[in-house]
Amino acid sequence: MTKTAWVFPGQGSQAQGMGVELQNSSIALEKFKQAEEILGWSVLEICQGDEEILSRTLYTQPCLYTIETILVDLLREQGKSPDVVAGHSLGEYVAVYTAGVYDFATGLKLVQKRGELMDKAEGGKMVALMKFDRDILNSIVSQTENVVIANDNNEGQVVISGEPNAVDAVVSQVKAKLTVPLKVSGAFHSPLMATAAAEFSQVLDTVNFSDATIPILSNIDPIPSTDAEIIKQRLVQQMTGGVRWREIMLQLPLENVTQVVEVGPGKVLTGLIKRTLKGVNLLNVETISTDAK
C-alpha cells in the first residue's frame, strides 16, 4: 500500500508576503484573528513588513506555524490527509498539530514560548557546511568540545552549532566546498540550549497532549510514534538535540511512502528529498486558491 507524507519546513523558509493570499478564506481569517489575540501582534502585518523583523526568531516561528497550520486546514477542507507527518525543527510543531495532538491555540502558545526562549539565546554560533567528507567531519566534531551537528539535512549538507571558537575550529579543519554562517544569536539544537530546554520543559508539563491520529517522525528520533508522552518528550529533547532530517527522509520508503507533500513556504525540504530519494512523487503547497465565504 502506498502512502503520502506531509512535511513542514522550519525557520529559514519564511518569505515576505507569505500567507497574504490566504485572506480570501474564512478559515484563514479566523486563524489570523485567533493568532493576533494570542500573540499580541498581527502575523499578516509582520509577513508584509520589514524582512529583518520577520527573520527574528521571535516572529518567524509563530508566523510559520500559523500559515502552515492554515494550509493544513485548507487541505483537509478539500478532503486530503496524510498517512505520516514530519517537520523540520519548528515544522515539527505543525506536524504535531496535523496529527491531532493539540489544537491550534495550544500549539501557537508553545511555539511563541519556544521562539522567545530561542530569541534570547546568546553566545552561540551556527554554520552550514555543504559538500564535505562526512567521516572527517564526524571525527573532528567528536574530538572538539562544545560543538555538535545540529542539522543533518542530507548526505552533503549539515549545520554545526556550538560555542563560536569551537565552531570556527571545526570549519577550519573540514574542507567543505561551501560554508555559510547562519544569522542566529544562539547555538540552536545543541547542549548550549539546556537552560532554555529546561524552562520549556516546565511549560510543556502543563499542557495535555493527546495520542496522535497520524504517526509522527520526529527530529530527535525518526521512528514514527503516536504516543502522547513520547511526542512531548521528543519536543523537549529537540531544543538541545540535532535535527536528524537525513534519517527521516531515509525512513519514508520504509513506511511505504511514495508521495511527499511539502506544506509551507519555499521548497527547501523538497530539494533535500529529491537529492536523497528516488522514485518519490514530490508536491509543494505554498498557497491554496480559495473563494471568499
Cα 26 from chain centroid? 26
List active site positions. Answer: 89, 189
